Amino acid sequence: MTTDSFVLKGDIVYSLDPQRLSCTEGGYLVCDEGLCAGVFAAGELPGRFADLEVRDFCGQLIIPGLVDLHTHAPQFPNRGLGMDLELLDWLDTYTFPEESRYADLTYARLAYEDFVAELMRGATTRAVVFATLHVPATLLLMELLEDTGLSTLVGKLNMDRNSLPTLVERDALASLDATRQWLNAVAERGFRCTAPILTPRFVPSCSDSLLVGLGALQREFGLPVQSHLSENLAEIAWVRELCPDAASYAEAYLRTGLLGGEGCPTIMAHCVYSDPLETPLLKEQGVWIAHCPVSNTCVSSGIAPVRSYLDQGLRVGLGTDVSGGYSLSLLHSMAEAIKVSKLRWRLVDDGLKPLSVAEAFYLATLGGGSFFGKVGSFEPGFCFDAVVLEDIRRPTDSDLDLEARLERLIYADANDRVLGKYVNGQQIL
Amino acid sequence: MTTDSFVLKGDIVYSLDPQRLSCTEGGYLVCDEGLCAGVFAAGELPGRFADLEVRDFCGQLIIPGLVDLHTHAPQFPNRGLGMDLELLDWLDTYTFPEESRYADLTYARLAYEDFVAELMRGATTRAVVFATLHVPATLLLMELLEDTGLSTLVGKLNMDRNSLPTLVERDALASLDATRQWLNAVAERGFRCTAPILTPRFVPSCSDSLLVGLGALQREFGLPVQSHLSENLAEIAWVRELCPDAASYAEAYLRTGLLGGEGCPTIMAHCVYSDPLETPLLKEQGVWIAHCPVSNTCVSSGIAPVRSYLDQGLRVGLGTDVSGGYSLSLLHSMAEAIKVSKLRWRLVDDGLKPLSVAEAFYLATLGGGSFFGKVGSFEPGFCFDAVVLEDIRRPTDSDLDLEARLERLIYADANDRVLGKYVNGQQIL
């Protein structure tokens, strides 16, 4: 598992922009000391790479590693269970009780090992992960992730109100102290591919003084931030009650310095109902929206207008949002993003045409990858994150082009067809 | 593969009605000469069954075999491909060209063997299948299905207008003659578990005289009928043009004797937009609605108001509708039925609450099964159709009840976890 220089040979697909795919059959993808050196057609591999080892995946697809911008590791035991409630009741009934269990490190190890194994076996190479409010369990999760070679950002949660007695921090000060303690412990461990991200759960879980304190902590440590935004109508109405002087839900984060801007890269999950007051803030502040179509359907939130966000030039990636979502597969999330965009076009607004395969693929690669820097593309200079997918073959196949083969792998949810996985040029699977 | 009497032991779930599941952990399911003799709790197996062989599936789920009320075998090569168009364009661009290929029996064999193998390996025990208009290929499909032991109804299509030159019958007479020829050939073969079903493709593909002729054929042979109804807005508008004197789309079938009633069991696929003029006809005529949530999403048709149909006492089952749908898995269709019902509740009509797990399960078992007679339940006297599903186990599991375990299998799309499959008491897998 050392950084290396080598060449992958196969049928290579990556996004040039949201609408356009680069497709090269039988091409060469060059890794030069952990960075992409480009994609070359057969016979066009530059001489300077001629001596590199070629790993031949003839007839298989090679795509950028997939990036999960939003998921909850401690909810993994609940996935596919308790899908009968809307967001706020679902949190109280299923999610908060489950997260309470992570006070117990023995349980946390069982659950997190299971989560990490599942994340490893699929096509995801990078993920931004909610843990729980518990410092020891969060450190354990980070250690387990570090051992995999996946590149992840992990957040100890902050929550000091409106939760179960078993899952709430005493007050803002206690939450901030625990966060400092966690950050210090992370720094001591010297992780290579695992980093902390500030994680106020969402406005209803965080008192004003906690948000203010986290804003100060963000500036002190220069940390990235993740939270939830405008997911569900009842949640939004509640935030309006809790923050009567904020013009929008987003402003409740902005005014404490937790909504993007210079030195504060921020992911806001969902944005199902971000309105014309909110979207300009997201754009100005350069916030990444984590679109979570499976979860938004399963907890009956609705369908985010992703087409509109892309048209407005907002940053958008995909999140699996387990266990509002029931699967860690981003290939499944791509299919779901397309599907719900069709229903939104049909049922809500036929001015917003459905997402294409190229657009869904962009969201899961370059769209979300950009949160990590130069990630999610095979253009020269990008981090070498790649996944080899075993292609589907049917006896009836004739001349399917590469985009069609990608489409079929997406709808077949080919997350279990990973033949190889590389992060920063290191083979991790 | 002979009919037998035996007992399956395991965790048994079946529908009592749309809302209620019968759940028996560690129970005994008795097969008595191909029929269900009931489910018995541990220690309560009646003495008269004491000598039967017990097949122990300890800790696994045993459910009624799943019933697919609507799918297109010849579209199987296209599944997961060409998902970028709405219904009518999708038919012209992808579907009709593919179906044209079944004039070639060599191609048909390749494709149908692939379809049948996929249908066999999953949890489906009965299916109602569209073939193409080609008689030899349809007979081949029926022979292949017959060899599996699955119980199926298969339709040679009728279509004499509005199609490609490569996929249309010369006129009504030619279509009716071919149908007679097909029915005679089927009768000669003496199939045991494969039967014909009259299959006018849909009103736009069938001239008035063809529909009239098929109505006469239906009465002559007493055949069941399947077609499409009120799937997509553009299709519905077209039918209104084609049949200006029919008060509803359904009436265009009814007036030719192809819409249910005594001696004419009928499945209509989709009914996404059946209105208050149409639904009373469906009820009076006892028509089965094949709800196809995956396909209705993927070809951007919309979301059928299944809750309303159930409340009105209409007959509803599930269809996978490959290749408008991309999967032959009815477990996946169950999850999708629940998911789209949530989006419909949220976006269209919050008077129609989302479907529950029990309701989705009912649709795929007893709801669709009733089209085959006493099928889809483990009540005494029902055909012994059963599937054993390998349960999911996570290291974090504690005391999940049987309904929760079923829910998780549905969301995990456990179609590849089939440990055993029985139809009419015969083990076929």
pLDDT interval class at A1 (50, 70, 90): very low
Q: Which residue has the tokens 């399960």?
A: B361
| A236 pLDDT above the threshold of 70 | yes
The pLDDT score that the predictor gives to residue A120 is 98
Give tens-digit pLDDT for A100-122. Answer: 999 999 999 999 999 999 999 99
Label residue A404 by pLDDT band (50, 70, 90): very high
Number of Cβ within a 10 Å radius of residue B101: 21
- Model confidence pLDDT, tens digit, residues B332-354: 999 999 999 999 999 999 999 99
Query: With bands split at pLDDT 50, 70 and 90, how would you rate the model's confidence at B233?
Result: very high
B151-155/B124-130 β-pairing: parallel
Is pLDDT of A343 > 90? yes
Window 221-280 of A: residues touching B by CB (8 A cutoff) are none
Residue A3's pLDDT is 53
Q: What is the mean pLDDT of residues B389-412?
A: 97
* Average of per-residue pLDDT across A396-417: 97
Cβ–Cβ contact A80 with B under 8 A: yes
pLDDT given at position B4: 85
Q: Do B394 and A77 touch (CB under 8 A)?
A: yes
CB A65 within 8 A of CB A423: yes
| Torsion angle (degrees, nearest 10) of CA B316, B322, B325, B329 | 70
User: What pLDDT score was predicted for residue B3?
Assistant: 53
Helix, coil or strand: residue B82:
coil
pLDDT number for residue B2: 45
pLDDT computed for residue B255 by the predictor: 97
How far is the C-alpha of A199 from the C-alpha of A157, rounded, in Å?
5
**pLDDT band, residue A2 (cuts 50/70/90):** very low
Nearest Cα residue in chain A from B106: A396
Residue from A83, A320, A399 whose CB has the most chain B CBs within 10 Å, to mutate:
A83
Asked if the model's pLDDT at residue A351 lies above 50, the reply is yes
**Residue A426 corresponds to which tokens in the numbers above?**
């290191």
Give phi and psi for A159, each to the nearest 5. Answer: -160, 115
Distance CA A32, CA B269 (A): 55
Provide the mean pLDDT of chain A.
97
* Cross-chain Cβ contact A298/B394 below 8 Å: no
Chain A, window 92-111: residues with a beta carbon less than 8 angstroms from a chain B beta carbon? 107, 110-111
CA distance A137 to chain B (A): 15
DSSP line for B119-172: HHHSSEEEEEEE--S-HHHHHHHHHHHHHHT-EEEEE-EE--SSS-TTS--SSH
The one-letter code for the residue type at A180 is R
DSSP run (H or E) holding A151: strand A151-155
B336-355 residues touching A, CB cutoff 8 A: 338-340, 342-348, 354
What crossing angle do the helices spanning B105-121 and B135-148 adopt, rounded to 10°?
A: 30
Q: How far is A387 from chain B (nearest CA, A)?
A: 21
Three-state DSSP state, A300 = coil
| Cα–Cα distance measured from residue B77 to residue B81, given in angstroms and rounded to the nearest whole number | 9
Q: Answer whether A300 sits within 8 Å of B354, measured CB to CB.
A: yes
Percent of chain B with pLDDT over 90: 99
Query: For the segment A6-28, what is each residue's pLDDT rounded down to a tens digit?
Result: 999 999 999 999 999 999 999 99
Give me the mean pLDDT over the A128-146 stretch. Answer: 98
pLDDT band at residue A50, thresholds of 50, 70 and 90? Answer: very high
Considering only CB atoms, which chain A residues are within 8 Å of B403? none
Chain B: give the shortest CA distance to residue A410, in Å. 8
Cα A239 to Cα A258: distance, rounded to the nearest angstrom: 16
pLDDT tens track for B315-337: 999 999 999 999 999 999 999 99
What residues of A are in contact with residue B85 (Cβ under 8 Å)? Answer: none
User: Is A407 touching B (CB cutoff 8 A)?
Assistant: yes
- DSSP for B338-379? HHHHHHHHHHT-TTSPPPPHHHHHHIIIIIHHGGGSS-S--S
Kindly report the pTM of this predicted structure: 0.98
Res A4: pLDDT: 85
Mean pLDDT, residues A267-293: 98
Backbone angles phi, psi at A243, to 5 degrees: -130, 70
Q: Which residues of A150-181 are buried (b: 16+ CB within 10 A; e: fewer)?
A: bbbbbbbbbbbbbbeeebbbeebeebbebbee
